[in-house]
Homo-oligomer: A and B are copies of this chain.
């Protein structure tokens, strides 16, 4: 039987060259370059709620880090160090090896060193990642910086993850090529880390979309004390959603649900070209989808110029 210490030694003790001291003592030690501040975030994933028991451990290792990278991206921070606390029903070495592979794979691509954490036993797989990034002082992109007249943008496509979830749950029928096109957004989301950093000094406010576009844009509006007007026809819908145009599906997939891990952000209208340049630098499509308004509220205007009825609320674990 593999011990707790062997698990850490075998699977979670790769070198952490960016740290003064990595895994193996009571704490890790890190040093922050002069002029930098730290952006810190933590997310917890619970089996059966945030992922399916059918998700392979490698995709799970990827996703556990990706959701945190997405939070750093939304602030424009550069990822540096991760801590991983994990509860497991049993010490399954095949699972551990796969999970570590997925986690370290994305960590390596993202410049992240795993520097510490905890391994314990629990009735369901529960994964808590804390991620620390750095950003030059006073240059973080906050939710509170949007001003009337700013343009509203979104990265990538929206609706893929929610469509994939609906497909999995049997409420949306997809042909194989469509399913294959949307599933990666759900199981191995690609956080917009480069785009976030490229948007420093360009975006006035940003958030990552983890609870649905309207809900997350709503957080920017609340924090900034402004309103917004979105044009539905501009939304970069994922192909299976766009093709169907089923109202309920659109509501579910695009506006009020779905963890796309894209960025929704605002920028002054005179920085329109700078936003396009930032997107090009990061290799990510960015789409102008509406405007910030002085008047509170969030209006979505349909193709016919009429206001659409929308469900604003995003996903709520306790709803």
A111 CA / B203 CA spacing, docked (Å): 34
| Inter-chain contacts of A166 with B (CB < 8 A) | none
CB–CB B31/A137 < 8 A = yes
- Separation in Å of the A133 CB from the closest CB of chain B? 7
Which of B4, B7, B41, B118 is A27 in contact with, Cβ under 8 Å?
B41
| Inter-chain contacts of A132 with B (CB < 8 A) | 40
| Inter-chain contacts of A84 with B (CB < 8 A) | 42
- Separation in Å of the A192 CB from the closest CB of chain B? 12
**A234 interface contact, C-beta 8 A:** no
A21 CA / B116 CA spacing, docked (Å): 24
A77 CA / B21 CA spacing, docked (Å): 14
| Inter-chain contacts of A50 with B (CB < 8 A) | 120
What residue of chain B has the Cβ atom nearest to residue A133's Cβ? Answer: B27
CB–CB A42/B118 < 8 A = yes
**A198 interface contact, C-beta 8 A:** no
| Interface of chain A residues 274 through 319 with chain B (CB within 8 A) | 316-319
Instruction: Tell me how many chains of this kind the complex includes.
Output: 2
Contact segment of A54-62, A122-130, A148-156, A242-250: A122-130
**A140 interface contact, C-beta 8 A:** yes
| Interface of chain A residues 38 through 72 with chain B (CB within 8 A) | 38-44, 46, 48-50, 71-72
| Inter-chain contacts of A37 with B (CB < 8 A) | 20, 29-32
| Inter-chain contacts of A71 with B (CB < 8 A) | 26-27
A206 CA / B25 CA spacing, docked (Å): 9
11 extra interface residue pairs, beta carbon distance < 8 Å, beyond A4-B317, A4-B319, A46-B87: A3-B318, A4-B316, A28-B39, A30-B38, A30-B40, A31-B137, A44-B122, A44-B128, A46-B121, A121-B317, A128-B128
Q: Which 8 A-B pairs have CB atoms at the shortest separation, nearest pair first?
A: A128-B128, A27-B39, A44-B85, A26-B74, A130-B130, A46-B122, A42-B83, A26-B71
Q: List 21 A-B contacts (CB under 8 A).
A: A4-B316, A25-B143, A26-B71, A26-B75, A27-B75, A27-B133, A27-B140, A30-B38, A31-B37, A31-B137, A34-B34, A40-B81, A41-B83, A42-B85, A44-B126, A46-B87, A49-B121, A91-B318, A119-B317, A122-B124, A130-B130
Q: What residues of chain A have their CB less than 8 Å away from a CB belonging to chain B?
A: 1-5, 7, 20-21, 24-32, 34, 37-44, 46, 48-50, 71-72, 74-75, 77, 81, 83-87, 90-91, 115-124, 126, 128, 130, 132-133, 135, 137, 140, 142-144, 206-208, 223, 316-319
